[in-house]
């Protein structure tokens, strides 16, 4: 997978509804053998240091960054509304389930679908694989599109624009609709979540979908920790590494309780 992080005019490139408290997996997980197998074998117990390592490595930095500061927390500080732009009704329905799943599992994240492109701050463009690079060119221009293709050769892409306070104002996600269900789910989860802030892919953390060597197709426990840490109200856009480190012990204790509850974890 691949993520494109736009900071205003500066480019930085980096590689469904259930109610809170319910623990039933997304309806499609049992329908896709690859996803179901991964969920059965998922690692669910992590030390504090393992969680903190993944959070710091994904919430700060950018995998391939051309310019602009990436040493601060970047996140939305407003409700997030997602608009699906495309003609495939089935993929739109699957995206809505994914958005609902994320909303149910991230405690302080206000995210939902919208039918209005006017009020959306996350736009998901659904395209055929053969139209992917033409769409990337439309979004980012021919020169940037060439750089993306030669450097990353993505199957999907996402990016965001932030303001001077490091608050994300708008995100774009590009997903292909005709590469099979597993690729769609894997791309949709990763790119949607990265468009919310944890932009930096890392190959040194084996449990996160923000690792180019890892494919999931669902919202795993480890990444629930990362997103819940990021969207805790005490973690604010613009914070530095040192700012965040001072808060993490208390924030992580609360996040652990939430993730345990929403997933019915016994450990």
Q: What's the token pair of residue 62?
A: 């950018």
Specify which residues 113 forms β-bridges with: 82
Q: How many Å is the Cα radius of gyration of the chain?
A: 17
Question: What are the percentages of helix, strand and coil residues in the chain, rounded to 5?
Answer: 40, 15, 45
- Report pLDDT for 132: 87
What per-residue confidence (pLDDT) applies to 2?
53
Fold of 3-15+31-263: Collagenase (Catalytic Domain) (3.40.390)
- pLDDT (0 to 100) of residue 17: 30
Q: Please enumerate in sequence order all residues whose Cβ is within 8 A of that of 12, keeping only pairs 6 or more positions apart, or say none.
A: 4, 5, 6, 62, 64, 65, 66, 67, 68, 70, 199
- Spans of the chain, pLDDT less than 50: 5-25, 27, 29-30, 63-68
The pLDDT, as a whole number, for residue 69 is 57
The domain spans of the chain are: 3-15+31-263
Extract the tokens encoding 202. 């890392």
Tens digit of each residue's pLDDT (9 = 90 or more) over 213-253: 889 999 999 999 999 999 999 999 999 999 999 999 999 99
pTM of the predicted structure, to 2 decimals: 0.86
> Dihedral of CA 75/63/161/97: which sign?
negative
Q: For residue 142, give the H/E element and its range.
A: helix 142-151
d(CA 203, CA 63) in angstroms, rounded, equals 10
At 153 the pLDDT is 63
The two tokens of residue 5 are: 């992080």
Cα atoms in the Cβ-side hemisphere of radius 13 Å centred on 249: 2
**Spatial contact of 60 and 72, defined as CB atoms under 8 Å apart:** yes
């Amino acid at each position: 997978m691949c993520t494109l992080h736009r900071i205003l005019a500066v480019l930085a490139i980096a590689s469904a509804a259930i109610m809170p408290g319910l623990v039933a997996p997304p309806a499609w997980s049992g329908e896709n053998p690859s996803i179901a197998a991964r969920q059965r074998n998922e690692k669910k117990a992590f030390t504090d240091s393992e969680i903190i390592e993944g959070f710091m490595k994904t919430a700060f930095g950018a995998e391939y960054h051309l310019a602009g500061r990436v040493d601060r927390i970047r996140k939305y500080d407003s409700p997030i509304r997602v608009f699906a732009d495309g003609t495939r009704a089935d993929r739109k329905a699957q995206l809505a389930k994914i958005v609902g799943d994320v909303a149910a599992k991230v405690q302080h994240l206000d995210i939902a679908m919208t039918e209005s492109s006017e009020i959306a701050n996350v736009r998901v463009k659904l395209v055929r694989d053969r139209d992917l690079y033409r769409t990337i060119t439309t979004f980012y221009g021919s020169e940037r599109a060439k750089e993306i293709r030669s450097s990353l050769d993505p199957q999907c892409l996402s990016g965001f624009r932030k303001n001077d306070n490091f608050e994300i104002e708008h995100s774009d996600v590009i997903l292909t609709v005709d590469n099979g269900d597993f690729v769609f789910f894997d791309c949709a989860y990763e790119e949607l979540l990265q468009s919310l802030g944890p932009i930096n892919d890392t190959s040194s953390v084996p449990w996160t979908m923000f690792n180019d060597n890892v494919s999931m197709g669902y919202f795993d426990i480890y990444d629930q920790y990362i997103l819940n840490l990021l969207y805790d109200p005490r973690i604010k856009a613009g914070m530095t590494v040192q700012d965040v480190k001072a808060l993490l012990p208390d924030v992580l204790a609360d996040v652990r309780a939430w993730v345990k509850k929403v997933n019915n974890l016994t450990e």
